[in-house]
Each structure stands twice: as C-alpha cells, then as structure tokens.
A and B are shown apart, each in its own frame.
Chain A
Amino acid sequence: MANSSVVDFPKNFTKALNDPQLRHNLRSAMDTLGMRRRTLFSDPVSFEQLRATGDEIRQRALRQLPELLEKLEKKCTENGIQVHWAETPAEANQICLEIIQRHNAHRVIKGKSMVSEEMHLNHFLAEHDVEALETDLGEYIIQLDHETPSHIIVPAIHKNRDQIARLFHDKIPNTPYTEVVEELNAIARKVLREKFLAGEVGVSGVNFAVAETGTLCLVENEGNGRMCTTAPPVHIAVMGLEKVVERLDDVPPLLRLLTGSATGQLITTYFNMITSPRKAGEKDGPKEVHLVLLDNGRSKIWADPELRQTLKCIRCGACLNHCPVYTRLGGHAYGYVYPGPIGSILTPQIEGLVNAGAMATASTFCGACEEVCPVKIPITDILRRLRNESYQKVDTPHAVKGHGYKLSVIESLTWKGWALNNMMPWANALSAKLLGLLSAQLPRLPKVGLLKYWGQSRTLPKFAARSLHALAKEKGLRDE
C-alpha cells in the first residue's frame, strides 16, 4: 500500500506543516465539507437513528461475511457476472491483467476506486503496456501530476485552481492557461470524452454489493463511473470483500449516510446499480462484467471482534474532513493510500505495525471522527488497541502484525515507575511534596528530554507548593 516501503512519518509531517498553501487549501475545503454535512444532518435525533441503522446493517453484514460472500458469488454468477477472488493486491492485479490481455486491450478507463489505489493497479498495468486512465476529474488531475489521492472522496483537494490551471496548461497539449473552474472542467470533459470512446476495458470500484440479488452499487456525481461501466465492452469491478451487504433493503439507509456524510448531499447525481452484463437484445453495456474480491488482510482483521469494526467503514471520508490532524497534514503525509482516522486504524492492520504503527500515534483521541462516523466505528478504541499492541507482544491469534515492535525498556520502565508512584499513596504524597519544593527552587523545569518538545511552543507549568491532597487535609476534609 505504501508508495515506498519505508514511510518517514516525522519528515512527511514536518514538510506538510511547513506548507502554508496546503494548509490553507485543506482548511477551507474541510470547513466547507463539514458545514455541508452539518446542514444535511441538522436534526441530531434523526441522524442518530439513521446511523444506528447504518451501524446495524454493517454489523449484520459482517457477522455473516463468509455466507454473504458465497451468496454474492452465487447470485452474481447466476446473473452472468464473473467473480474472482484475490488474497493479495498482486493477485488482484494479475486477475485484471489477464482479463485485459484476453481482450487484447491496451486502453483502460477507470472510475474512482480506492481499492484499485490499494492495489497500485495503474502502475502495475503500465508495466505491462496497458494505459489506465483515471476519468474522475479529481483523479485525472492528480494522475496528470503523477500524484496519489490525498483524500478518499476529493482526491485533488490539496491543489487549488491556480495549481490545476498550471498543470493543465503544461500537461495537456494546446491548452491555454485558465483559472476559471468551469473552463478547467470543460477542458477535462473534452479530453476525457475522447478517452471514453476509445476505452477498451472499464474499471470501477464498488460502494455496496448486494448479496441477495448479486447487484453492484456505485455512487457518483460526474457520470464518468457510468461511462466506464457502460461504454467499453468489458467492465472489471474491484472491491474489498467487506463491502457486501445482505439485502437490497440495506441500500437506502447506507446510501443516504454515504452521500450525506461525504459531501452533505441528499443523493448523488447518479446511483448506478449493476446486476448483469449486457443481455441478448440489449444495445449497450459491457458484454462481460467481472467482480474481483480482494482480501488483502481483511479476513484476518475480521477474525478479531474489536478490530472487525474497522471493516464497517463505507469510505465516506467524514472522519478525514473532521480530523484536526488530517486538516493540517493532508493525505500525502500519511504515506499510504488511506489517510486520516480511517487510514490510521486500517493501514497498520494491513501493513503491520512496524511499517505503519506510527499512524496510530497521530491522534489526540479528540473523538471528532467518531462523532461523525456514519457507521459508528470506535476509531479511538481501535487506535488505542494499536498503541497497546505496539508495545506488547500479544499472545492471541488475532494480534496485529508487528505487535510488540516498539518494545522499549526505557519507556516500559518509565510507565512502571509511574504506576508504582500512583499505586502507593505515600510515594505519591512524597513526590508531590518534592515537586512542590522543587518549584520553589526553580521557577520552571529545565527543558530536557521530552520537555524539550513541549517547550518548542509552550511554557511549562509550575508545580504548586502544596498539593490538593495537602490542602484538602488542611481544610479538614474527611474520607469514608
């Protein structure tokens, strides 16, 4: 999932924090998305009811996951959709490539799909002489600039119009420089229309797959997803295997939660439900539809009841939009495909703690993500679990890959000492007294060790001469 195997989080973070343009772009975009969501879900009572429903639908689907996957496969197959299973991104890529090669295709047009990003599909196809063109406007923009999405819903949100204007002018032949958003859209429309005509295979993601009917649901505003799934003779849909839901009736509440949480829309322009390839007599639509089910660690996550909740995610991006850390860093600093709160819980579980465990430290546990999550994922509890397993070797079958990687004698001893001090009232009283005395000697603590980091933007607190324990005793407060 990483663009390079080792992600230098501190360096990335510092770089992002020192980019005022980025912070400005992000801040205003996240404010707007947050505001739109709040307007849509303005009634807290009905929102809570709706998200309780969403949570329940996702839980119900997950607890029957193996059964529903089998059912989905059966139904899809009956409908004429060919189902493929992949344990790893490499396998999924290979499946896609074989389908593409079987049709002697070299031009793939793609709708937005985070799973395809997880697979690094475009890169893989390019190595095999297949051009995969992103057709979602945001994805198209970043692909032109050889970047990855910085947000799971609005992938080019880190860029402003001037940057996009320059990019179009530089990269698209005969394109005048314009900062007018409508004109930029028109330029993309023109380029991509031609590509839609020429596309030989369409690739898309899947927002929900309905097991009872074998239906693939896609949510979008632009229509490029419809193009990719309708115009070329072959459609390949890639999906994480957790995206299955049990019934058609589960779709309406999830759809409302997804569009509302993502962009504050009651519904997107298009909701596209695909149940079969082109039938005899039909004039358009792909003749072949393939569904690639990707595991990539999900079945392992699923086995643990707490971690499993990660898989309830419907990828709405609301947790990113409301995260004070994401708002200041943007997606690229995280170094992996999924950024923000959802990325910080999902990525370490897939990539292992050694590679991505640091993502779990990039949180104050403020809980803003959980407050908006439409399927009530206990994000902070899962982050805490990842922190715990970073320091402890765990003796359960569901331990996160790389558990115990941070095992450090010094840190462990520090916390042991802290615990001892706080377990024994006499020790606690003594240290309070000592600190009180100390502060009388030194107006401020010296800036050493971790305190140095504190001191880079904050002065240190002073210890009180007498602790609350002492004052309470003086005041004659009793105990019982």
Chain B
Amino acid sequence: MNNARANILARLWTAISPDDLAPFESSVAGSALELSRTERVARLKQRMEAMHAEVVITSANGWIDALKATLRQRLLNGLLYAPDTALGKALAAVWDSDLPPLVGYTETIEQCKERLFAIDASITSTQGGLADVGALILWPDSDEPRLMSLAPALHIAVLDAAKIHDSLAQAIAHEHWREKMPTNILLISGPSKTADIELVLTFGVHGPKELIVLILDG
C-alpha cells in the first residue's frame, strides 16, 4: 500500500513532457465587476431572496429590535448563540423573557449533539458577503462552531454591509485568504434545498429550512 504513492508519482514524473515544464502562457483576461456599496447590498439582497432567504436591511442600532420582532412572530424552543462573541454579549445584555431562551454553544459536539439537533433556531455573525452571486461568507471558529449554521431549522445571520464583496475572487484577494485559511469556510446562499425528485425545488431538506439575513447598513 505504501508503494502506491511512490508508484503513482513515479509514473507521473516519468511521463512528464517538456511541454508540461515550459512556462504557461495565460491567454484569457478576467473581467471584474465593480459595484458601489449600495449596489452590493441591493444585489446580495435580490440574489439571496431569489434563493428563498429572507433579507432584512437594518442598522447597527436597530438590528436587535428587528431580530426580536422576527422572533416574536414564531414559536421557537430556543435560540442557539455564541455567548463569547461581541454579538452574543450584545444579545444577552438586552434579551427579554418573552423571547425564545438563548442557548449558548459552550460544549463540544460530543457532549451536546442531541440537544444541538433539537434546537429550533440559531444566530451567527458572518465574515462577509458576496454580491455577485448572493451569498454569505462564514468562518466558523471556537466561539461560533460549524454546526450552528447547519443543525437548527432556522438560521439567522448578521451581516455588516461594509463587508460585502463584489465577488468570491475579490473576497479571497482583499482578505488575503490564502495566508490564513481557517479550519472551515462556508459560502451560504440560502436555506438548504434539493431538486432530486423530478427536479422539483424544495427547501429545508437536511440543513436549515429558513435563512434570515440581517444586513447592518449604517
């Protein structure tokens, strides 16, 4: 079995041709999109709504009220949140008793798997957004683990309008991703969906059935 590596590489290195080693000339030019902040917000909203996400444009001061209003319209058994983040602290400071209780993701998955999969909703921050395709960028970490945006049926994401990029290419370049790739990066464009039965599009197959994006613009 250990020979597999040596054999495969030997086959490849032996077969390499001079052409393969010559410098590679690129002949295609890329064309980049350049959008204003307002356009980026508008495009992301329009694209994500087309993918059945609910997008609310709010402000740095008003978003918690917007969130509360949304939550009060639903019957939820709890809101999974990250207690150690700025966002989590802001929520905990002003949480009301009539709202679904905040549940911190404080243990490892091995300790809380069953409970985690039973919670109705979650709220996370985002690393940014992509205007051209309409997607969120998430960099889950020790405070905001990966399953937060996957296990609950409702995922609420908070997005700072200033962090919406024109495109994935731009996000990778501007934020220097290649130098600091985290454990996991996610692009999320809407609630989970499938079209595996007769290509009929239905939402909420394995992941969240609903995605709400709160864009903090101003």
A-B contact pairs, 21 of them (CB 8 A): A49-B28, A56-B28, A85-B4, A138-B194, A154-B199, A213-B178, A222-B207, A223-B206, A253-B169, A266-B133, A269-B193, A269-B207, A270-B187, A272-B184, A273-B186, A275-B181, A275-B185, A283-B109, A299-B11, A302-B12, A303-B15
| Complex contact B183–A227 (CB within 8 A) | no
The residue from B19, B107, B202 contacting A63, defined by CB atoms under 8 A apart: B19
State whether A222 and B16 are in contact (beta carbons under 8 Å apart), knowing that A49-B31, A56-B27, A137-B205 are contacts in the complex. no
The stretch from A13-21, A187-195, A343-351, A467-475 touching chain B is A187-195
What is the distance, in angstroms, from B153's C-beta to the closest C-beta of chain A? 10
Closest A residue to B130 using CB positions? A267
Closest A residue to B22 using CB positions? A63
Closest A residue to B26 using CB positions? A56
The residue from A224, A253, A256, A274 contacting B183, defined by CB atoms under 8 A apart: A274
Is A359 among interface residues, defined by CB-CB distance under 8 A? Answer: no
| Complex contact B145–A285 (CB within 8 A) | yes
| Complex contact A188–B205 (CB within 8 A) | yes
Of listed A70, A164, A263, A283, residue having the most chain B CB within 10 A: A283
Is B73 among interface residues, defined by CB-CB distance under 8 A? Answer: no
Q: Which residues of A are found within 8 Å of B192, using beta-carbon distances?
A: 221-223, 269-270
The stretch from B64-72, B86-94, B95-103, B110-118 touching chain A is B110-118
B-contact bits for A182-223, CB 8 A (1 contact / 0 none): 101100110011001100000000000000111100000111
The residue from B11, B167, B196, B199 contacting A33, defined by CB atoms under 8 A apart: B199
Q: Which residues of B are found within 8 Å of A56, using beta-carbon distances?
A: 26-28
CA distance A164 to B181 in the complex (A): 41
| Complex contact A284–B146 (CB within 8 A) | yes
The residue from B9, B110, B184 contacting A69, defined by CB atoms under 8 A apart: B9
Closest B residue to A248 using CB positions? B178
Q: Which residues of A are found within 8 Å of B58, using beta-carbon distances?
A: none
Is A52 among interface residues, defined by CB-CB distance under 8 A? Answer: yes
Q: Classify chain B: how many residues form its interface, as a range.
A: 35 or more
| Complex contact B30–A231 (CB within 8 A) | no
CA distance A130 to B114 in the complex (A): 23
CA distance A275 to B181 in the complex (A): 7
| Complex contact A197–B114 (CB within 8 A) | yes
State whether A270 and B207 are in contact (beta carbons under 8 Å apart), knowing that A197-B117, A285-B145 are contacts in the complex. yes
Is A271 among interface residues, defined by CB-CB distance under 8 A? Answer: yes
| Complex contact A60–B24 (CB within 8 A) | yes
Q: Which residues of B are found within 8 Å of A268, using beta-carbon distances?
A: 189
| Complex contact B142–A66 (CB within 8 A) | no
Closest A residue to B172 using CB positions? A248
Give the interface SS of chain A, mostly helix, strand, loop or mixed: helix
Is B5 among interface residues, defined by CB-CB distance under 8 A? Answer: yes
What is the distance, in angstroms, from A324's C-beta to the closest C-beta of chain B? 19
| Complex contact A263–B195 (CB within 8 A) | yes
Q: Which residues of A are found within 8 Å of B17, using beta-carbon distances?
A: 305
CA distance A251 to B183 in the complex (A): 17
Is A116 among interface residues, defined by CB-CB distance under 8 A? Answer: no
What is the distance, in angstroms, from B131's C-beta to the closest C-beta of chain A? 11
Top-9 shortest CB links A-B: A223-B207, A303-B15, A138-B196, A66-B12, A271-B187, A85-B5, A284-B109, A223-B192, A267-B133
Is A95 among interface residues, defined by CB-CB distance under 8 A? Answer: yes
Closest B residue to A271 using CB positions? B187
The residue from A52, A214, A249 contacting B27, defined by CB atoms under 8 A apart: A52
Is A161 among interface residues, defined by CB-CB distance under 8 A? Answer: yes
State whether A53 and B189 are in contact (beta carbons under 8 Å apart), knowing that A223-B207, A295-B8 are contacts in the complex. no
Is A173 among interface residues, defined by CB-CB distance under 8 A? Answer: no
Is A395 among interface residues, defined by CB-CB distance under 8 A? Answer: no
Q: Which of A64-113 contact B (CB under 8 A)?
A: 64-66, 69-70, 79, 85-87, 91, 94-95
CA distance A247 to B24 in the complex (A): 14
| Complex contact B190–A269 (CB within 8 A) | yes
| Complex contact B198–A160 (CB within 8 A) | yes
The residue from B109, B145, B168, B207 contacting A255, defined by CB atoms under 8 A apart: B168
The residue from B145, B177, B202 contacting A182, defined by CB atoms under 8 A apart: B202
Q: Which of A258-314 contact B (CB under 8 A)?
A: 263, 266-279, 281-285, 293, 295, 299-300, 302-303, 305
CA distance A270 to B113 in the complex (A): 22
State whether A156 and B146 are in contact (beta carbons under 8 Å apart), knowing that A192-B206, A270-B187, A272-B186 are contacts in the complex. no
| Complex contact A70–B9 (CB within 8 A) | yes
CA distance A305 to B105 in the complex (A): 53
Q: Which residues of A are found within 8 Å of B184, using beta-carbon distances?
A: 230, 272-275, 285
Q: Which residues of B are found within 8 Å of A422, using beta-carbon distances?
A: none
What is the distance, in angstroms, from B120's C-beta to the closest C-beta of chain A? 13
Closest B residue to A279 using CB positions? B183
